[in-house]
Structure 1
Amino acid sequence: MSSNPLPATTNLNIEEHIALRRVPAVGLLTLVVALISNILIGTISYALFPISGAFIPLNLIPIAFWTLVGVLGAVLVFSILVRFATHPLATFSKITLIVLLLSLIPDLVLFYMSPFPATTPLAVIALMLMHVSTATLCLGFLTSLCTEPDVKTADNETYNDSAQPTNASDIINPLEPT
């Protein structure tokens, strides 16, 4: 009788490893999606709210430039962590949160100082939303699309067909004492 109530194909301890070869392609995908997302945020903000075109940070060139800087920075940091960090995914998650919070400081300053003409709270909130969008996309895409299951672990632990129960009496009822 098997003492494991889970099927043999279930393994909760599959180790993930990061395929460094995927980082450039995933980085490019992240950049394209972040650019589309931020341009949409800017366009929708202009359409729905009374934001002036004189507010330079919400124009196309600054949006594209700062999105490029943010994504390239994230891809570079992620690549370095993959090579040198013991726990690159957890470390990258923490760094992403810290950098996001730091990137919001200049936007918060805009609430009190208005170096750009036509600075409004709604325009600043749109900028902040772009920061959150870019950070979320970088974190999500890089940490999920660059990982793959560890083949050795998967082969050794999860695909053993002989461990499957062969008849109904071998299936353990978790409510029944053993």
Structure 2
Amino acid sequence: MDSEAGVSESARPLSRSDLVRSGAVALVVSLVINWLIVFMANAGGIAPELEALNYEPVSFFTTIGVVGATVTYGILARTVADQDRAFAIVAAIVLGLSVLPDFVVIPDQPGGSLFAGAVLGLMHVTTAVVCVWVLTDRRNGR
């Protein structure tokens, strides 16, 4: 254990370029998955009038979520000994909070329904899983 950095040698601090690369991969994968979900929802006629279930808002909020996850992971990588475990815990808490509006607000929106909220919630879950998977992946040279 490197007492000065507070991390073990096997978990050396994440370089900025590794973090940016991992964040970019997480963003691309999350966007592609969420765009496929939007495409299938639109093809299936699920809430065609619901603004939140369109490409622009999905792209915007997916990007905000992935950037937030990447910054959070970067901070944890520099401040805690087990950044992967800490990040998984933070991601689970944020995921739980992020799906609440999908089931509380979305059903009351024009064109919204509980099912449309569940579809949006699925996007939150897939993005969270992708972020945890990609940001904690050790094959990136760390």
TM-score (norm 1): 0.69
Tell me, in whole angstroms, the C-alpha distance in 1 between the residues paired with 2:95 and 2:30.
Answer: 14
2:64 corresponds to: 69
Which has the higher relative contact order, 1 or 2, with Cα contacts under 8 A spaced 6 or more apart?
Answer: 1
Cα deviation code 1:18-71 (max 9, x no counterpart): 5323110110111111111101011112223x3232100011110000001100
Q: Which has the higher helix share?
A: 2
Aligned residues: 133
Identity of aligned residues (%): 32
**What is the SS of the residue equivalent to 1:125?**
helix
Tell me, in whole angstroms, the C-alpha distance in 2 between the residues paired with 1:35 and 1:101.
Answer: 20
Going from structure 1 to structure 2, the CA distance change for 1:88 and 1:62 (only over 3 Å counts) comes to same
TM-superposed deviation, 1:148: 4.2
CA contact (8 A) 1:16 1:147 kept: no
2:131 to 95, 117, 138: 138
Runs of 4+ in structure 1 deviating by more than 2 angstroms, as ranges, are 14-21, 145-149
TM-superposed deviation, 1:122: 2.0
Tell me, in whole angstroms, the C-alpha distance in 2 between the residues paired with 1:148 and 1:16.
Answer: 10
2:22 corresponds to: 26
Structural RMSD (CA): 2.0
2:94 to 94, 99, 107: 99
**What is the SS of the residue equivalent to 1:105?**
helix
